[in-house]
Structure formats: structure tokens, C-alpha cells
């Protein structure tokens, strides 16, 4: 189940795809039909898994992520848009935007 890509930057799309890959690998969610606009709660992601996801995403994209933001932006599409927006700017060769990580 793909959602409309309009409005998502290339970085946000990459983050959204990563979220879909990751969540499909740890929860019983079909990657081929990933519900990008379904709430993380509804997918079965709990607070511990949210922290783990945040840690993995930090490593993958080189940014700092507060797991509570997953509740404020509770779908793959919304979270990717939020994080990409926070990261800001074009991607560098070293990774995604560096606006957050200290």
C-alpha cells in the first residue's frame, strides 16, 4: 500500500523506505504492501521497539532521533517527512543532513 509521494523530498522518501524495511523486519507487516500511513501503534510498535528503531535510524542516517517523536508523527510518511525536515538541506556524501546530530 503505497501512499502519494508528493510532498516528500528524496531524503524523506529514502527514510520512509528505510522505515518500511525496518518495521517489516521486526513486526508482522508485509513489506510489499507496507501501510505507510497507518499509525505505528496500529502496526504493533511499542515504546521499547520505538527506542530501538530510533537507535538504528540514527546510525543509518547519521542524525539524532528522539523516540518520542514517533508518537508525535506516528506514521512512516509523517515521521520521514518530519525527520527529513529536521535534518534539512541536501544530502552529503557522508550521509543524510547533519543538522541535528551534535
Partner 1 sequence: MSPVRPAAPARPKAPALVSLAEMPPDISVVLVSFEMEQALQRSLMSLSRRCQLGLEGRRCEIIVIDNGSARMPQLTPPEGMEFRLLRASRPAPSPVGALNEGLALARAPLIGAWIDGARMASPGLLAACLAAAEDARDVVVTLNYRLGRPDDGVAPAERAAHDAALLAGIGWPAQGYGLFSIATAEQAGEQGPILESNALFLSRGLWAELGGFDPVFDEPGGGAANPDLLQRALAAPGTRLVRVTGEGTFHQYHGGTTSTCRESATEALKTIARRYAALRGQPLARIRQVGSVFASPHAPAPHAPAPHAPERIAPPDLQTGMARP
Which positions touch partner 1 (CB under 8 A)? 22, 25-28, 41, 44-49, 51-52, 54-56, 58-59, 67, 71
Residues near 9 by Cβ (< 8 Å), separated by ≥ 6? 84
The smaller minimum CB distance to partner 1, of residues 11 and 23, is found at 23
Q: Nearer to partner 1 by C-beta: 1 or 42?
A: 42
Q: Report, in Å, the least distance between residue 29 CB and partner 1.
A: 11
Nearest approach in angstroms of CB 10 to partner 1 is 25
Q: How many CB atoms lie within 10 A of CB 99?
A: 12
Which of 3, 11, 10, 5 minimizes the C-alpha distance to 63?
11
Q: Which whole-number Å values give the CA distances from 35 to 8, 9, 50, 86, 91, in the listed order?
A: 16, 19, 17, 23, 26
* Helix, coil or strand: residue 92: strand
| Least Å from the CB of residue 53 to partner 1 | 8
Q: Which is nearer to partner 1, 11 or 70 (CB)?
A: 70
Closer to partner 1 by Cβ: residue 55 or 89: 55
Amino acid at each position: 500500500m503505497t501512499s502519494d509521494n508528493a510532498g516528500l523530498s528524496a531524503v524523506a522518501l529514502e527514510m520512509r523506505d528505510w522505515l518500511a524495511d525496518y518495521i517489516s523486519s521486526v513486526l508482522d507487516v508485509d513489506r510489499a504492501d507496507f501501510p505507510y500511513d497507518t499509525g505505528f501503534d496500529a502496526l504493533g510498535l511499542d515504546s521499547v521497539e520505538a527506542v530501538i528503531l530510533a537507535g538504528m535510524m540514527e546510525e543509518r542516517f547519521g542524525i539524532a532521533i528522539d523516540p518520542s517523536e514517533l508518537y508525535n508523527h506516528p506514521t512512516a510518511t509523517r515521521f520521514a517527512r518530519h525527520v527529513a525536515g529536521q535534518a534539512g538541506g541536501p544530502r552529503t556524501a557522508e550521509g543524510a543532513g547533519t543538522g541535528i546530530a551534535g
